[in-house]
Amino acid sequence: MAKRRSYRVLVVGGDGRAHALYKACEMSPLAGEVLCTPGNGGIRTMKRRDVGVMDFVGLVALCANEAIDIVVVSPEAPLCGDGTMGIVDYFKEHAPGVMVFGPSAGAARLEGSKRFCKQLCVENLILTARYDEVTATEQIERVLATHGVPTVVKEDGLAGGKGVTVAMTVEDARAAAIRGIVKGPVIMEDVVTGREVSFICLSDGKDVLPLRPARDYKRAFDNDKGPNTGGMGCYSPLPEYPEDGPVYAQLLTMANAVADGIAVEDFPFVGLLYVGAMVDREGTPWLLEVNCRGGDPETEVLLNGFKGDFFEYIVACCEGTLADMPTPQFAGASACVVVASEGYPEKPAPHGLISQDWLAHMAARGVEVFHAGTTEIAEGVKPTGGRVLVLCANAATHEEARHKIYDALNSIPHPFPGAWWRTDIAKGAAQLALDL
């Protein structure tokens, strides 16, 4: 357990996950002052600072000025850095007295390089789709002929959620590979079908402690139609994969294998380890991707449902004492719905202001609102991103949790002009579990 003292905390980020992490830290009796940089419109002005997430020099100076004890990093870009020097490595060198919750750049390659992640899977016997690397244009036709279609084409580096194409035709696969290869190596892999699971764990570099499995809705529109997004909502847990069942056990084995594999490379993973898996019809999980941060919006839904002091777990990860922590406990069922701006994901055109009455209405209905893409200006808080607000609720069942959110949304005019959301998040979660 974390020592009883008062930590001064800095959350780095301005997305919905950063807001959720900020709130989790703020609620902790262990946390004294909690600041956020650059933050967003959901965080009080006096608690925000304006140092950018990639300004490592500025962040170290900010920590010195504010006597920060622990930095909690939300986005992947500062964690990955340039592949060898990320925020964790920089602090280790320049501010060794400050703890940082997040993996080193070496460990963050699990997300920063798809090629690295696939190689680690192969070396550690982790089940993942068959793949080939394409490093030159003239290889594309040969690899295409090997894989056929459909095929998944992935850019090697960070692409802000836009680097993956599921190509249904040879023409689309070729076009995606040509687009990708301009930026670096490209992975082409077989398509695995089944049910996707986000399995997010805490990790201190030695031990892995799972949070609950969650299901993300990546397509923009109801019934999984439309373009891919960063995630339009999710729910947790997944009734079809209970903690005492075989799929959960395999997911945990997979997460441990990833953590052990990266530790053997001398890069123990500290932070939130996200294992994205596809569970096939036989109930076998295949690793799709690893992220070096919690998912978004999965982290929001998990933290909102978390019972107890999450900050204590953050400290335990940094201090390498996760093994001493009790099993995380959660509310019965959790759901979240993302409110997006007009034009998202292709051409987000956020405009107007977020209604204060609307925010008060959500609070009165027991719906927690995390800001994802908002900024405070003199007139109020304005939407600035594609995904603007993340609405979370807990209840005894998924059906009740989703109704809590949708009933609140449907009983008041929209929060800002052009706001929209999917209407089927967590719908039929219980039935889906029976339809295995």
Closest approach of Cβ 403 to ligand GLY, in Å?
Answer: 23
Tokens describing residue 150: 């459909």
Closest approach of Cβ 297 to ligand GLY, in Å?
Answer: 7
Interface residue with ligand GLY among 89, 156, 216, 309 (CB under 6 A) is: 216
**First-to-last CA distance in the chain?**
39
Q: Is-contact 134 155, C-beta < 8 A?
A: no
Q: Is-contact 215 334, C-beta < 8 A?
A: no
Beta strands 7-13 and 31-38, pairing class = parallel
Of 118 and 147, CB closest to ligand GLY:
118
Q: Is 291 in the site for ligand GLY (CB under 6 A)?
A: yes
Of 296 and 376, CB closest to ligand GLY:
296
Closest approach of Cβ 142 to ligand GLY, in Å?
Answer: 31
Stretch that binds ligand GLY, among 48-56, 292-300, 308-316, 417-425 (CB under 6 A): 292-300
Residue owning tokens 């982790």:
126
Tokens describing residue 184: 């670096």
Of 75 and 415, CB closest to ligand GLY:
75
Dmax over CA atoms of the chain, in Å, equals 61
Distance CA 23, CA 102 (A): 18
Closest approach of Cβ 236 to ligand GLY, in Å?
Answer: 12
Q: Is 111 in the site for ligand GLY (CB under 6 A)?
A: no
Question: Residue 31 forms beta bridges with which residues?
Answer: 7
Site for ligand GLY in 293-322 (CB under 6 A): 295-296, 298
Q: Is 236 in the site for ligand GLY (CB under 6 A)?
A: no
Of 23 and 387, CB closest to ligand GLY:
387
Closest approach of Cβ 216 to ligand GLY, in Å?
Answer: 4
Of 60 and 187, CB closest to ligand GLY:
187
- Count of positions (residues) in the chain: 436
Q: Is-contact 169 149, C-beta < 8 A?
A: yes
Distance CA 352, CA 371 (A): 15
Closest approach of Cβ 231 to ligand GLY, in Å?
Answer: 4
| Residue nearest to ligand GLY as judged by C-beta position | 295
Q: How many CB atoms neighbour CB 124 within 10 A?
A: 14
Distance CA 68, CA 65 (A): 8
Beta strands 186-190 and 151-155, pairing class = antiparallel
- Angle, CA 118 vertex, CA 112 and CA 121 arms, to 5°: 120
Interface residue with ligand GLY among 16, 163, 180, 231 (CB under 6 A) is: 231
Closest approach of Cβ 291 to ligand GLY, in Å?
Answer: 5
Q: Which residues are at the interface with ligand GLY (CB under 6 A)?
A: 216, 231, 291, 295-296, 298
